[in-house]
């Protein structure tokens, strides 16, 4: 086949980028055409996303892609999950979408479970209980009598909002819709009975479309702005769904860690696993490409390191992650540990101070230097990965032998080696650009150039090279894991 150029727009919680992918039928070659920062905007009513600026950056990426090479045939967009926009009956934004770290959801999980038993919420949605989920953001609007909910006519997840602005098509894509905790994966539709019991209006929820759906061409006004038209495709629009699609695994019984701002630790299943045991372990069932489900649990992830660096960069602007890794390598091993998923670490803060505060409160030696703090974060993450993978294995009745680490965190050699050591499992790291690869290849699937998830992963294996980390057994890792379990309230 002639080389097909496609454009992936990947919006993350820290940055966004536009990646061109050239697919020749066997391999994909990626090249970055545009990158830009992202982050919360603090306003008097809380934290928001600046979606208007992000839309301008998206269009700038399309324009640049057209200038730097052959014009792309299509574009697909993926973003983080759980957040949403509300439109009025004319299609206008009701307000700038809230950021999932906004404080308005505090106490909303408890309020939801007061209105509907926890077991019933999980039975309807199969989604883990996290205050950031769209369900609790919507419930906060109900509880606080937010006028925006009264005038809302349409609910769109964030990638669906941008697709609507590009094409005029109103729909929610399956993989991102499932992250909202408003979707029933067994009924294959919105969980309307649950939503009604929580007082959330159900008329606002639009049709749900599968990943790898061609939405149509750019609206004429957008085509004029970017210098020409192209097809818009809904890939797996949740960034983790795109990343997991690009895991270069051949054995179906693999575990993965999609490592970025969040770490998503789990396995791929053909059906959701909604059981009392998965509820007790707080696992989630999110939609994947090709009819699959991502059975996983969230771990706070590299957000901890990002927030530390943000604070330290106020004093040393040129501070890089590479420099922090060098300092961590020089720090003594197995100092203090934290539970990365403590709620105190969820929101923007002076993260080094919060980490030291946690260590002080738990009777540990408080890390002082930057290297000690970073090493504390990385060792704690690796040990929490082990904790999650052990529960994953029990729920699935098997032992996972290989853990695939994809996403930006796959480039953190120290964290990957720690993960192999802590879990006692082989770690295969890469691709770092898994989200963009999965996005590009889902578009190729939508256009008829691939026919299965197996085909897609074969292309990934031909396109990238993984780094392999062998586990190194150590009594010190076992002792550290016992310490982590005590911090988690276990024996």
Question: Contact, 59 vs 225, CB < 8 A?
Answer: yes
The C-alpha atoms of residue 306 and residue 289 are separated, in whole angstroms, by: 29
Sign of CA dihedral 358, 359, 360, 361: positive
Task: For 470, list phi and psi in degrees, rounded to 5.
Answer: -85, 140
Cα separation, 180 vs 435, in Å, equals: 20
* 407/240 Cα distance (integer angstroms): 9
CA distance 302 to 260: 6
Per the DSSP assignment, residues forming a β-bridge with 265 are 257, 297
Q: What is the DSSP string of 246-259?
A: T---SSSS-EEEEE
Write out 114-160 in H/E/C secondary structure: HHCCHHHHHHHHCCCCCCCCHHHHHHHHHHCCCHHHHHCCEEEEHHH
Partnered with residue 475 across adjacent β-strands are none
| Rounded Cα gap, residues 484 and 490, in angstroms | 9
Task: From 177, 158, 172, select the one nearest 11 (Cα to Cα).
Answer: 158
Q: Report strand pairing: 231-234 vs 74-79.
A: parallel
Cα–Cα distance measured from residue 174 to residue 210, given in angstroms and rounded to the nearest whole number:
5
Look up residue 490 and give its two tokens: 């276990």
- Count of C-beta atoms within a 10 Å radius of residue 91: 12
| C-alpha span between 32 and 69 (Å, rounded) | 12
Q: What backbone torsions phi and psi does residue 18 show, to the nearest 5 degrees?
A: -115, 125
Angular region, 228: left φ>0, alpha ψ -120 to 50, beta rest? left
Q: Which whole-number Å values give the CA distances from 75 to 1, 63, 121, 207, in the listed order?
A: 19, 12, 36, 21
Active site residues: 239
């Amino acid at each position: 086949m002639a080389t097909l150029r496609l454009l992936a727009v990947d919006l993350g919680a820290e940055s966004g980028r536009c990646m061109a992918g050239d697919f020749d039928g066997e391999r994909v070659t990626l090249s970055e055409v545009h990158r830009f920062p992202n982050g919360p905007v603090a306003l008097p009513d809380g934290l928001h996303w600046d979606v208007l600026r992000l839309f301008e950056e998206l269009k700038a990426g399309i324009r640049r892609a057209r200038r730097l090479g052959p014009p792309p045939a299509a574009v697909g967009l993926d973003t983080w999950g759980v957040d949403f926009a509300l439109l009025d009956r004319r299609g206008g934004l009701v307000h700038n979408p809230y950021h999932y770290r906004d404080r308005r959801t505090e106490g909303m999980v408890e309020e939801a479970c007061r209105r509907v038993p926890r077991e019933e919420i999980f039975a309807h949605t199969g989604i883990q209980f996290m205050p950031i989920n769209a369900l609790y953001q919507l419930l906060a609007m109900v509880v606080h009598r937010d006028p925006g909910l009264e005038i809302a006519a349409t609910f769109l997840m964030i990638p669906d909002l941008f697709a609507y602005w590009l094409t005029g098509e109103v729909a929610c894509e399956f993989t991102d819709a499932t992250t909202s905790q408003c979707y029933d994966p067994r009924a294959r539709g919105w969980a309307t009975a649950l939503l009604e019991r929580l007082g959330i209006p159900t008329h606002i929820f639009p049709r749900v479309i599968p990943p790898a759906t061609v939405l149509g061409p750019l609206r004429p006004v957008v085509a004029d702005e970017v210098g020409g038209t192209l097809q818009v495709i809904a890939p797996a629009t949740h960034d983790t769904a795109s990343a997991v699609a690009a895991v270069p695994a051949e054995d179906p019984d693999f575990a993965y860690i999609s490592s970025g701002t969040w770490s998503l630790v789990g396995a791929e299943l053909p059906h959701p696993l909604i059981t009392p045991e998965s509820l007790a372990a707080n696992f989630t069932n999110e939609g994947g490409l090709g009819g699959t489900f991502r059975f996983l649990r969230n771990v706070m992830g590299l957000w901890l390191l990002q927030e530390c660096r943000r604070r330290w960069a106020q004093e040393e602007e040129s501070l890089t992650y590479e420099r922090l890794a060098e300092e961590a390598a020089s720090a003594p091993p197995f100092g203090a540990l934290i539970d990365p998923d403590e709620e105190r670490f969820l929101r923007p803060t002076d993260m080094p101070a919060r980490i030291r505060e946690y260590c002080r409160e738990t009777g540990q030696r408080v890390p002082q230097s930057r290297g000690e703090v970073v090493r504390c974060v990385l060792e704690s993450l690796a040990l929490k990965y082990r904790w999650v993978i052990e529960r994953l294995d029990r729920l699935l009745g098997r032992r996972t032998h290989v853990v695939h680490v994809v996403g930006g965190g796959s480039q953190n050699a120290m964290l990957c080696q720690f993960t192999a050591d802590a879990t006692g499992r082989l770690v295969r790291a890469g691709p770092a650009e898994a989200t963009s690869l999965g996005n590009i290849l889902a578009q190729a699937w939508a256009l008829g150039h691939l026919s299965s998830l197996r085909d897609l992963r074969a292309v990934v294996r031909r396109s990238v090279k993984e780094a392999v980390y062998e586990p190194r057994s150590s009594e010190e890792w076992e002792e550290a894991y016992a310490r982590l379990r005590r911090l988690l309230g276990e024996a």
